[in-house]
């Protein structure tokens, strides 16, 4: 007979206490992190405003019961909704993520740390409105930026050495964990309650990646992070009531996360929690493309310009070879029919073919109307990916974190274009000086999609004034973005 498991409540798993220590005790001192977080806030909200142009997104928004308005609830930027913080988190999170245009973190696991803004902003706005109604001081935007930095760090540092996708789990597990941690602290949970909330996040059972991969790729990948950040808010609120936690949720034999969902392996950590992730986060500035393809799209735009210069047509192309990194091949190297926009924006061949043909890549280019152009599939069929081991090494190198792609074009007449190589996309830390002015222009375009000139100018001026933005009450900031 097997030995009985001792029914003695263990101490909390070390991973739980590491995260709780960081979120409750660590002081962010990095000016660079706060400055990057300000740009991240602008960009993330802008991505949400663009998504509001798509009915597939907006049909999911609003209260669960139509017509419900929550007094002192959180407002959803760009809309007229005022909701409880859990549903507001889902709304904001779904908007942010819908077009695959917000920031990215690439490591053993990839993901989009700004997905956590759904839970953070909804909670901060609700807390601020509730405080003001009670005659107390509201939170200010600096509190939001602090929570963003910490959520980025929790999600990103765990992702550095731990691949959830290799065991079939979606990266939004890390959104749920990070949102749970920072929101629990924001709403005033005790240290023990933060640990309990984190245990609830891990014990939840996690989303599969089914909806991100052929033949099942679908639009859930656009709202999965909204679901995860909203769940983080819910679990934090449950734990605030004093609901018990599960201290060995990760390490428990047979029944813990490691044994059930992670092939028995404990998490590995490359570095302690600080502000590294926000400082090094990747922005999608120019193109709404899955990030492993961002540099390939930059190369494709160059190819488009070169073909025009030479008087050549895409019809002249016999073959395009993409020299790339292993993660790109695993995630977005895709042949055969593409069923929907979610399928197309995770196909590197599609994301290269469109800019070569049109000299652009926008969110609208994934829709059925553009995809019906037969030239796209014809060109896709000529594009092949091969792994470059050096590109893969540099992708994982913490001092480089490149996302390299190199494209070679061969013509039917035997001619070639010289190889087009791009190691670091414009949203990379190494290109901040070049990238941030372009990010601001992207934000301006997205504001113009939703707000009249006077309103968008006021939002822009505030966002570009770091010190004034940081001391602005959260509810006043959000009120500026109500239509």
pLDDT beyond 70 at 393 = yes
- pTM over 0.85? The answer is yes
For the record, the structure tokens of 314 come out as: 């895409």
pLDDT beyond 70 at 88 = yes
Give the single-character DSSP code of 204: T
Summarised one tens digit per residue, pLDDT across range 333-380 is 999 999 999 899 999 999 999 999 999 999 999 999 999 999 999 999
Summarised one tens digit per residue, pLDDT across range 112-123 is 999 999 999 999
Residue 411: what pLDDT? 97
Q: What's the chain's length in residues?
A: 483
Q: What does the CA dihedral 189, 18, 272, 395 come to, rounded to 10 degrees?
A: -90
β-pair type (317-324, 82-83): unpaired
Q: For a pLDDT cut of 90, what percent of the chain falls above it? A: 93
For the record, the structure tokens of 51 come out as: 């998504």
Summarised one tens digit per residue, pLDDT across range 197-212 is 999 999 998 999 999 9
Q: Cβ–Cβ contacts within 10 Å for residue 130, how many? A: 17
pLDDT beyond 80 at 3 = no
Give, in order, the Cα–Cα distances in Å from 234 to each of 20, 86, 229, 256, 399: 17, 6, 9, 22, 37
Cβ(268)–Cβ(159) below 8 Å: no
Residue 107: what pLDDT? 87
Band (1; pLDDT cuts 50, 70, 90): very low
Band (4; pLDDT cuts 50, 70, 90): low
Summarised one tens digit per residue, pLDDT across range 401-452 is 899 999 999 999 999 998 999 999 999 999 999 999 999 999 999 999 999 9
């Amino acid at each position: 007979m097997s030995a009985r498991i001792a029914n003695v409540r263990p101490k909390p798993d070390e991973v739980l206490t590491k995260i709780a220590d960081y979120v409750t005790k660590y002081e962010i001192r990095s000016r660079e992190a706060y400055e990057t977080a300000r740009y991240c806030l602008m960009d993330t909200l802008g991505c949400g405003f663009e998504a509001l142009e798509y009915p597939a997104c907006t049909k999911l928004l609003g209260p669960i019961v139509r017509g419900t308005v929550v007094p002192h609830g959180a407002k959803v930027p760009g809309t007229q909704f005022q909701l409880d913080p859990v549903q507001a988190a889902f709304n904001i999170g779904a908007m942010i993520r819908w077009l695959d245009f917000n920031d990215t973190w690439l490591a053993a696991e990839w993901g989009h740390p700004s997905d956590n803004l759904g839970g953070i902003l909804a909670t901060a706005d609700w807390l601020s409105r509730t405080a003001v109604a009670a005659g107390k001081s509201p939170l200010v935007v600096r509190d939001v930026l602090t929570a963003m930095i910490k959520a980025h760090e929790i999600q990103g540092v765990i992702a550095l050495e731990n691949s959830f996708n290799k065991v079939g789990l979606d990266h939004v597990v890390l959104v749920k964990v990070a949102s749970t941690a920072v929101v629990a602290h924001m709403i005033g949970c005790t240290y023990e309650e933060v640990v309990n909330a984190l245990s609830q996040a891990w014990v939840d059972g996690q989303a599969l990646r089914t909806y991100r991969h052929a033949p099942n790729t679908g639009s859930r990948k656009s709202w999965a992070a909204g679901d995860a950040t909203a769940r983080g808010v819910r679990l934090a609120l449950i734990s605030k009531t004093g609901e018990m936690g599960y201290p060995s949720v990760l390490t428990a034999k047979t029944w813990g996360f490691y044994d059930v969902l992670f092939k028995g392996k404990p998490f590995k950590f490359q570095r302690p929690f600080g502000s590294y992730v926000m400082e090094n986060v990747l922005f999608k500035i120019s193109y709404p493309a899955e990030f492993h393809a961002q540099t390939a799209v930059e190369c494709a735009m160059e190819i488009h310009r070169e073909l025009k210069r030479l008087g050549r047509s895409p019809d002249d192309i016999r073959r395009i070879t993409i020299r790339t990194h292993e993660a790109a091949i695993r995630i977005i190297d895709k042949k055969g029919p593409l069923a929907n926009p979610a399928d197309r924006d995770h196909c590197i061949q599609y994301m290269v073919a469109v800019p070569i043909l049109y000299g652009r890549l926008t969110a609208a280019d994934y829709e059925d109307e553009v995809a019906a152009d037969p030239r796209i599939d014809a060109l896709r069929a000529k594009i092949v990916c091969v792994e470059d081991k050096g590109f893969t090494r540099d992708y994982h190198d913490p001092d480089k974190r490149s996302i390299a792609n190199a494209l070679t074009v061969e013509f039917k007449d035997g001619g070639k274009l010289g190889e087009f190589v791009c190691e670091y996309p414009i949203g990379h830390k190494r290109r901040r000086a070049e990238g941030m002015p372009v990010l601001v222009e992207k934000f301006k375009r997205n504001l113009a999609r939703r707000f009249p000139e006077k309103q968008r100018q006021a939002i822009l001026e505030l966002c570009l004034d770091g010190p004034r933005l940081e001391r602005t009450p959260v509810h006043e900031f959000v009120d500026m973005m109500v239509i």
